[in-house]
Amino acid sequence: MEKNNAMMILEEIKSSDLIENRVQLLTQLAQLDTQGDSDVPSFLQSLTGKYRANRDFRIMMLNTFALKLLSASCLICFKCYYYGSLGCLLNKAILHVASKYLALDRSDCSQYFLAFGIKVSPWCGKHLYMSVMSMEESQEEEHSNIFFQLLLDYLRFSASSFTAIGKICFVSDEASAVKFVSEQLNLTKEVILNAKKVESFSSEILKAVQGVIDSIVRLCKEFSPTVNQCVNEMKINGNVGIARMEEGNSVCNLVSIITMGIKSMSELGMLAARDGGNLVTILNTSWKGVITLLQIDKHTLASKVDVGEIILKLISLIKESLRFAAEAWSCSAKENISATEARRVFLPVKFYLINAVKVAALFPSQASMVFKEISLCILMISAFKVSLSQQTHGKHASEVMTDLLEKTTVDLLSALLNAGEITQELRLSLLDSLFINEQCFSTQVCNKQGHDSQTEPSLVDILSLSVESAASARGLLLARVVLFQSVMRYSAELEEDAKLAITRKLQWFLDILTDEKVYTSVLSSQLPMADGSGKTIIWESMFSALLLSLKSLMIILSSSPAWEELETLLLQNLLHPHFLCWQIVMELWCFWARHATDDTVANVIDKLCIFMLSMSTSEAPLCPDSVLRRTAKSICFLLTHSPKSLTAQVYKNISTESRSESAPDAYLALLLEGFPLSFLPDRMKNDAKKQIVAEFFHFIENFNQKPLSSSRYSVQGGPVFALTACIGILKMSIPEIDSKTLKFGVALIQKLRNSKDEMTRDRYTEILSETLSIISRSEQLYTCQEMDNVITELQRLFITETDNSQHHLHKLKPSLALFLSGLSNYEMSETETCPKSRAVWELYHLLLRKRHWALVHHAVTAFGYFCARTGCAELWRFVPEDAALAFDIASGKEAKTERFMSELKMFLEKEQALLSTTASQEELEMLSKEGTQVKATVQKLLEGRKQQRSMEVEKQSNKRRKLPEGICRGVELLQKGMKRINEGLSEMSSDESQDFQKSILNQFSCLEDLVSHLVSLAASE
């Protein structure tokens, strides 16, 4: 009989003092069949007969047996190292018996397994620590192996016990359940902490740890609906009665376990992340467990869990991964970073980001408390991407980073921006922390002592910035721009309030583009971007990427309340003084024009034309920075992307029908800004060209007699500028231009040489520059005899001018280069006695000596064009010995003609080759220098424009205008008419009805008031 054997085994276990005997006896006891109805009841009756009268004998049997097991376990806890490996064997046998009874799934006995787990878990943790400490001793190897097998069995037992424990945890006030879960979590923490210290650590033990974590999460999920229902009922009915109190205790137990589980699992996730990727399953299970537990009851957990701390842990893991990669990749800067290596680094980062997004979306209010740290994390990722994209060896890594992290990074920001609990003020504060105004930046990038603020900061330095130092770090400026580009691109997922907040940051975006670093990078750098399908990464210039994102934002905002904000921004920046900002704004205007109705576009352009015609005559059409020119430039840009009929309408209104005194200057401004004459109908285009040519000839024929009033334009030489612009727009030469132009050029040069007035010399210089441009585009003029006089006069002007007058001729040199390039059709001998040949040589020598990069480009281009078409054989005569390209770049002293020819050949080959989008360091430095100058110019223009507007408003309020004579005459007639009407009223017959007389008097009174108002208005004007 099994019961007799069981009685004997139990008695022998009680009386035995040998560990070996206990192990054998426990093994025999575990082999007994406890499921048979005939054996188990008799065995239980013999064991616990004296308790039959009070309780079920099967319960008391299990109670007595469980206590026996716990007693034995406690004994071994303190004597394991005294007994050595035998102690672990005994505990392993005890655990085997306990597992067998756990399989009975008796809900009324689960509390005994709680007590068992509370005792065993700390013992396993202490033994694990001692085993790791003594791993170096060979005699402990066998003992450690036995213990690790015991640990594996217990972890499996622990995972299985949660099913049984769940049946009583939330039914009665059992605080030991919380203690049990706490001990299991502490044990899993010890296992993960020591995972790296044991080389032969079994993967099965880590898998068992994963099972424990899953069981805890499953336990909480299983009972959360019941507890949530209890919570809702207690909120409605109140905590009344013992049953309600028990339900309240159950809720407290669950909340305590969930809170403890969230905290412990987040710590486990941190520990698993430090193992370099060997504990991926634990890492994944822990953080998924945190998210799952946080989703159970958000309202209850909001006050129990420090959500901000969880987000900060995830952020620290992100920054640690990026910093580790930055340090590793900076040491091997010359080696290309493979896509595989990049994915190994960025996949964990994406995992942390995804979990941060989920936490922030669940608890946006709590997450907003650490929004500065979130902002810094997002900014670091953007800075990492920018740094990789600008390095040759980081191209593949940048592509992988874009593919894996760009969208998820924006999702983290969107999780806060979209939250209904977040106020609009907090949204703006969040965006302000990311997109900071330029004046907040300092020249220091990090707070390290001895750091040179002039050098570019390393990526490791940037990743080490704190929240405070990052706010003023100029090194993150470009990263902010690139991040803003990503936010705009994915703005379709934002809520309306978030879209409005982003739209209000567009002015920041335009302002920051004037910074020299951003300005140069936007023009010279490329960015990896996901294509339309989202499956392929392509490289786009940063400028194109920004435009694409802005256009995407426009489409998204078209049906949003934020559209009015965008319209206001586009209107306010229509005349932006910085060329890059203006280009972007106009691209957006044209994008709008291509999709708006024709009537809407026509209405906008018509208003712009009215505004342009209302410009004061002080707005000179020759000043590129004037409001008149910038308005004309915007109109021309819009017309090139609008229906051609609008171009004809604008031309008709301004050039033919407008009676405004400023219309000619507005027309000239349009021509100078590239008014699309080619869009006009053929007849209208021919009429426009004929009118421009006729005005030009009228001007040059009367130039010597009355130069100040020889055209309808307010500026001297207006017809010359109009003709130059017309030729450039139509891309054609005008055969009507004859030798009169050459004679005009000679007369103009002579006036320029003889003039003493500075302003007059400047104006003649501008007209001569345009005249040379006209001549260079008319090949037939180079065969005229008058060309000799032009060349001779130019030689005298440029070669014999004093040093004090050279600054007037500086702006002439680009046009001189154009003029000289057309001399391939000019007949001249190659002898030194030929005056005109010597004149041409000297002019070419003058240009080729100039070392300014722009003049070098003009001169070499002109000379190359001339060489390719001329019949001259002795081209060396055109090149001076001290030509700019002849000097050695390194020394800057030695000059050789051979070097010039070699550099000329390379230059011409580059001109014919495809343009490269990768800028050299010299080009970047040059762009940076020009960007600084442009920025200063923009600030000066804005300040000057502000002062000018205030002066114009004051002047306009005090200005008295003279009304046309017709209006004054009409007012006088009205006064006389009122006098005659008044006389007629006094002669009115008394026979008329009183109603009629009253009506007449009322009407006359109103008319009298109106006429009096007109008289006073005319008098004030």
Q: What is the pLDDT of residues 484-496, one digit of tens each?
A: 999 999 999 999 9
Least confident of 28-37, 740-749, 924-933: 28-37
Does pTM surpass 0.85?
no
> Is 9:18 a contact under the CB 8 Å cutoff?
no
796 and 920 together in one domain: no
| Predicted local confidence at residue 287, as pLDDT | 94
Check residues 556 and 147 and name the one with the higher pLDDT.
556
Select, from the ranges 19-28, 293-302, 454-463, the one with the highest average predicted confidence (pLDDT).
293-302
pLDDT (average), residues 287-301 = 86
Task: Read off φ and ψ for residue 53, nearest 5 degrees.
Answer: -70, -25
Number of compact structural domains in the chain: 4
What pLDDT, on a 0 to 100 scale, did the predictor assign at position 741? 92
Going by the DSSP 8-state scheme, the letter that residue 972 receives in this structure is H
Question: Domain range holding 924?
Answer: 915-959
Residue 655 burial by CB count (10 A; 0-12/13-18/19+): exposed, middle or buried?
buried
Q: Are residues 200 and 338 in the same domain?
A: yes
What confidence score (pLDDT) does residue 172 get?
53
Q: Which of 30-39, 381-390, 905-914 has the lowest mean pLDDT?
A: 30-39
Whether residue 1006 is contained in a domain is answered as: yes
Helix axes of 663-672 and 627-639: crossing angle, nearest 10 degrees: 60
Residue 645 domain flag: no
Rounded CA separation 940/831 (Å):
53
Question: What is the band of 876 on the pLDDT scale with cuts at 50, 70, 90?
Answer: confident
Tell me the residue length of the chain: 1021
Q: Are residues 988 and 937 in the same domain?
A: no
Q: Distance (Å, rounded) from C-alpha 176 to C-alpha 159?
A: 17
Residue 397 falls inside a structural domain:
yes
- pLDDT classification of 291: cutoffs 50, 70, 90: very high
C-alpha to C-alpha distance for 182 and 569, rounded to whole angstroms: 58
Q: How confident is the model at residue 129 (pLDDT cuts 50, 70, 90)?
A: confident
- 31-45, 260-274, 668-682, 877-891: lowest mean pLDDT where? 31-45
Tell me if 499 sits within 8 A of 902, measured CB to CB. no
Q: What pLDDT shows up at residue 723?
A: 94
Three-class secondary structure assignment of 609-665: HHHHHCCCCCCCCCCCCCHHHHHHHHHHHHHCCCCHHHHHHHHHHHHHHCCCCCHHH
| Residue 426 to residue 749: CA distance in whole angstroms | 66
Instruction: Tell me: do 300 and 402 sit in the same domain.
Output: yes
Sign of the Cα torsion 1014, 1016, 1019, 1020 reads: negative
| Interval 948-961 mean pLDDT | 53
Looking at residue 78, its pLDDT comes to 34
Note whether 919 and 888 are same-domain residues.
no
Residue 833's identity, in one-letter code, is: T
Pairing of strands 537-541, 526-530: antiparallel
Q: Contact, 595 vs 642, CB < 8 A?
A: no
Q: How many CB atoms lie within 10 A of CB 469?
A: 17
User: What does the pLDDT read at residue 504?
Assistant: 94
pLDDT of residue 149: 80
Who's near 401: CB < 8 A, 6+ residues apart? 342, 346, 381, 384, 385, 388, 528
* 727 domain residue, yes or no: no
Q: Is the Cβ–Cβ distance between 181 and 261 less than 8 Å? A: yes
The yes-or-no verdict on residue 56 having pLDDT over 90 is no
Q: Is residue 562 part of a domain?
A: no
More confident: 44 or 811: 811
More confident residue, 552 or 110: 552
Structure tokens at 290: 């945190």
- For residue 129, the surrounding DSSP H or E stretch is helix 110-133
Using the predicted structure, report yes or no on whether residue 187 has a pLDDT greater than 60: yes
As a whole number of Å, the CA-based R_g of the chain is 45
The pLDDT value recorded for residue 907 is 65
Instruction: Kindly indicate the confidence band of residue 43, based on its pLDDT and cuts at 50, 70 and 90.
Output: very low
Domain contains 973 = yes
Higher pLDDT, 53 or 530: 530
Domain check: are 952 and 982 in the same one?
Answer: no
The yes-or-no verdict on residue 83 having pLDDT over 90 is no
Using the predicted structure, report yes or no on whether residue 897 has a pLDDT greater than 90: no
Summary count for the chain: helices (H), strands (E): 44, 2
**Interval 316-339: pLDDT, tens:** 999 999 999 998 888 766 688 899
Q: Considering the chain, what is the average pLDDT of its residues?
A: 78
What does the pLDDT read at residue 774?
92
Q: How many CB atoms lie within 10 A of CB 7?
A: 14
Domain boundary pick from 440, 470, 495: 440
Shared-domain flag, residues 378 and 322: yes
Higher pLDDT, 129 or 277: 129
**Predicted local distance difference test score (pLDDT) of residue 920:** 61
| Whether residue 869 sits in one domain with residue 937 | no
Lowest pLDDT segment from 371-375, 590-594, 616-620, 912-916: 912-916
Residue where the block lists tokens 């209850």:
300
pLDDT digits (tens, 9 = 90+) for 836-851: 888 888 898 888 887 7
- pLDDT at site 64: 40
Per-residue pLDDT of 473-529, as tens digits, reads 888 899 999 999 999 999 999 999 999 999 999 999 999 999 888 888 999 899 999
Residue 28 scores a pLDDT above 80:
no
Residue 958 confidence (pLDDT) above 60: no
Indicate whether 186 and 263 sit together in one domain.
Answer: yes
Q: Please identify, among 412, 440, 468, the residue that sits at the C-terminal boundary of a domain.
A: 440
Among residues 380, 405, 440, the one where a domain terminates is 440
pLDDT of 168 reads: 55
Q: How many CB atoms lie within 10 A of CB 354?
A: 16
- What residues form DSSP beta bridges with 895? 887
Q: Do the domain assignments include residue 358?
A: yes
Is residue 173 scored above 50 in pLDDT? Answer: no
More confidently predicted of 983 and 630 = 630
pLDDT at 615 over 60: yes
Per-residue pLDDT at 66:
40
864 and 928: one domain? no
Q: Same domain, yes or no, for 904 and 921?
A: no
Q: What is the pLDDT of residue 332?
A: 67
pLDDT score recorded for residue 69: 43
Give the end-to-end CA distance of the chain in Å, rounded to a whole number: 129
Across the range 51-58, mean pLDDT stands at 30
Indicate if 260 and 314 belong to the same structural domain.
Answer: yes
Q: What is the per-residue pLDDT for 452?
A: 40
Of the pLDDT bands very low, low, confident and very high (cuts 50, 70, 90), residue 45 is very low
Residue 655: predicted pLDDT:
80
Could you tell me if residue 639 is inside a domain?
no
Pairwise CA distance, residues 75 & 66, whole Å? 14
Task: Give the highest mean pLDDT range of 240-254, 875-889, 900-914.
Answer: 875-889
Please report the pLDDT score of residue 76 as a whole number: 40
Predicted confidence (pLDDT) per residue in 390-436, tens digit: 888 889 999 999 999 999 999 999 999 999 888 999 999 999 999 98
